[in-house]
Amino acid sequence: MANTYLLAYNTVLAAGWAYIWFLTAETVYKGGWTAEVYERTSLPLKICQTAAGMEVVHSVLGVVKSPFFTTFIQVLSRYWALWGIVEQAPEAIKTGSVKLLTVGDFTLQLNLLTLLFAWSTTEILRYGFYAAKEIDSVPYPLLWLRYTTFIVLYPLGVASEMTMVYLAMPTIRKERPLSFSMPNKVNFAFDYYWFCWCAIACYIPGLPELYLHMLRQRKKILGGPPKNAKKVA
């Protein structure tokens, strides 16, 4: 029963993220940019990312072997990026970007498009990999992609998340969403703007260690022959 459920769960989310990737690519191909992409992907993005919360439940119940704390932190960071940042300042996110460099007519920039590309590509591979595991048939190319593409996608995703924070912070500071001022009935004050700075600070010590852990996992898993693909936990 658990295998059937996990197969369905991972297959549906792999398809959902593939749909987000398709909508993003199609919109850009037709001449749309971040504002149009946001309008088209907002709902499926919220559904797919929110559904990831079930991974924490799976870990708690022992349905999967993933460590609870790592799973919780990863899901929480995505929740914060989507619900705590993007959805708190959508106008800034839809129109803003951070330029990294310009070479001729080409400009490399971080924005909502790079965030969606990094997230959706990562999740298509991740959920696709988990779904294949449930039927005990992980193709080696999928295994290789699962443990290789993060080398580029992880830094791109984190940089894009931080770009979203950078774009949203002026709006958050001005409009003060999710903040509480005193006096009030519960005698409690909370400034979401400064909370965001604290959240950013928490990224700094954890990111290098997580990246190194993923590199160690890659070496461990891809160090064996392709037939070991079915034995990956």
Q: Which residues are catalytic?
A: 154, 161
State the Cα–Cα distance between residues 107 and 100, nearest whole angstrom: 8
Strands (E), the chain: 98-103, 106-110
**What are all long-range contacts of 122-127, with beta carbons under 8 Å and residues at least 24 apart?**
122/149, 122/150, 122/153, 122/154, 122/157, 123/13, 123/14, 123/17, 123/48, 124/14, 124/17, 124/18, 124/21, 125/149, 127/10, 127/11, 127/13, 127/14, 127/17
